[in-house]
């Protein structure tokens, strides 16, 4: 725990003093998105060609992220606001050839403070194919970090981005594009900014992986 708190402090200091030029609307707008979904607790920029999210953004309230911990998880459900031919279902991921999980962009552990907020993140529009061990072992560290920062700062805005490359890799059963990478940007109005980048690669290093291994210059994501 002491080592985790030390890392948090180091990353917070490293990110302080940088004037963030990013805003949610820089990513989630009519120019970038085929459809914008307002889920109440977060926003989705949906890409019809990918059959998945391009960006997912939200602001975490530090007083809420650790206020509840609902154990029972909802079922994944298709988002009926999306035209049917671009919509995805939970079964689209079953036994897929990429060994990919149903990976949350807005993570359940950041929204498990009420039944309504938790259910919202089980929309399939919030889900992308994430290689199972990256989802469970490495990306989860960035998700935990966002909750720690929200608690420490009082609030933090998070933008999650998905890199689809040339869209050629797809789940055979459903045609969902398999991302080559994804990233997470954290910032607040007082100049804190920190970004993490993950390759969605089955050959990626898992054992010994550290959160700091994924830190990137946020300007590279703008």
Give the annotated binding-site residues for Mg(2+): 135
Distance CA 221, CA 202 (A): 23
Which residue among the candidates 95, 99, 104, 214 is catalytic per the annotation? 104
Return binding residues.
135
Is 104 tagged catalytic? yes
Overall residue count recorded for the chain in this entry: 222
Distance CA 22, CA 27 (A): 9
* Catalytic residue set: 104
């Amino acid at each position: 725990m002491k080592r985790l708190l030390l890392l948090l402090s180091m990353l917070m200091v490293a990110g302080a003093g940088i004037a963030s030029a990013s805003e949610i609307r820089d990513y989630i707008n009519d120019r970038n998105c085929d459809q914008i979904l307002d889920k109440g607790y977060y926003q989705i920029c949906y890409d019809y060609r990918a059959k998945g999210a391009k960006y997912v953004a939200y602001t975490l309230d530090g007083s809420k992220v650790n206020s509840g911990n609902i154990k029972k998880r909802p079922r994944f459900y298709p988002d009926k606001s999306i035209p049917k031919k671009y919509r995805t279902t939970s079964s689209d991921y079953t036994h897929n050839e990429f060994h990919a999980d149903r990976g949350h962009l807005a993570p359940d552990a950041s929204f498990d403070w009420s039944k309504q907020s938790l259910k919202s993140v089980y929309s399939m529009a919030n889900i992308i194919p994430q290689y199972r061990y990256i989802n469970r072992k490495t990306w989860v560290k960035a998700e935990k970090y966002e909750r720690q920062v929200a608690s420490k700062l009082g609030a933090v805005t998070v933008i999650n981005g998905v890199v689809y490359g040339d869209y050629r890799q797809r789940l055979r059963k459903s045609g969902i594009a398999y991302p080559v990478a994804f990233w997470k940007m954290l910032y607040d109005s007082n100049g804190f900014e920190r970004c993490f980048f993950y390759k969605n690669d089955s050959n990626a290093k898992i054992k010994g992986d550290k959160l700091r291994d994924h830190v990137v210059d946020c300007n590279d994501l703008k």
